[in-house]
A = this chain, B = another copy of it.
């Protein structure tokens, strides 16, 4: 399971303030904390209240790379900011994200190929997020076709079938499970799959319980990666246990420790 640590995001108050004041300390602390907890990528998102997204994201990438050697997941709808930041990334990055929308595909896929980056491809288009698995898969197929067209290796495409909060869109949760299963059948080799996990539990009372239960369920469906809270110890223990139960890593009594120190 690939764990993309979600915490370096301007939507969080401490990071938002740090980005505005160009104070590297909070970003660097979270980079180290997430890496120590077992994150395999660090998400980098300037947040909404930044005048100059290009400058902000480039600065974030630089200060985070001063303290962590993890690859980065550049999270923005501003593709100029992503493109400028790709130049600075020391390791192949992930672009978060590209919908199944032709103008955006034409903007994102070539820059990913140029920089050897991976793409998180969203199963949504200008009309929004489909309600069922079948329509999500139709959009996933457009992203798979785009990977072929632009020469992105299929294993560098991460399909995100977009989970919604279970307390407002409960019927989406099983449809997303089915979409994950079917995505693995779209091509050979198959694209990878990813979810922004924390979204499933928004505004529910016991968010960590819902997050980790859904994680185990989508792992059983073949999920490869999550954008999530790497510092939720119970969540990481669930991810480690899921890998053991899928026979993806070898059992030993201290398997959680092994998982976190990969």
Contacts and interface: CB of A to CB of B under 8 A. Distances in A.
Interface of A: 166-167, 170-171, 173-174, 177, 200, 204-206, 209-210, 213-221, 237-238, 241-242, 244-247, 250-251, 253, 256
A218 B209 CA distance: 17
Nearest to A254: B205
A134 B242 CA distance: 22
B217 A173 contact: no
A245 B173 contact: yes
Contact of A220 (B167, B220, B238, B251): B220
Contacts of A250: 170
A74 to B, nearest CB: 30
A246 B171 CA distance: 8
B247 A173 contact: yes
Given A209-B241, A220-B221, A241-B210, A173 B253 contact: no
A170 B253 CA distance: 13
Given A220-B218, A221-B220, A213 B245 contact: yes
18 contacts: A167-B253, A170-B250, A171-B247, A173-B244, A173-B245, A174-B245, A200-B245, A204-B253, A205-B253, A206-B256, A209-B238, A210-B244, A210-B245, A213-B242, A214-B216, A215-B216, A216-B216, A217-B242
A46 B109 CA distance: 65
3 nearest CB pairs, A to B: A216-B216, A217-B220, A220-B220
A185 to B, nearest CB: 14
Nearest to A248: B174
A220 B213 CA distance: 10
A215 B206 CA distance: 19
Contacts of A237: 206, 209
A217 B219 contact: yes
A219 B221 CA distance: 11
Contact of A213 (B171, B209, B238): B238
A171 B247 CA distance: 6
B247 A174 contact: yes
A244 to B, nearest CB: 6
B209 A247 contact: no
Contact of A216 (B166, B200, B213, B251): B213
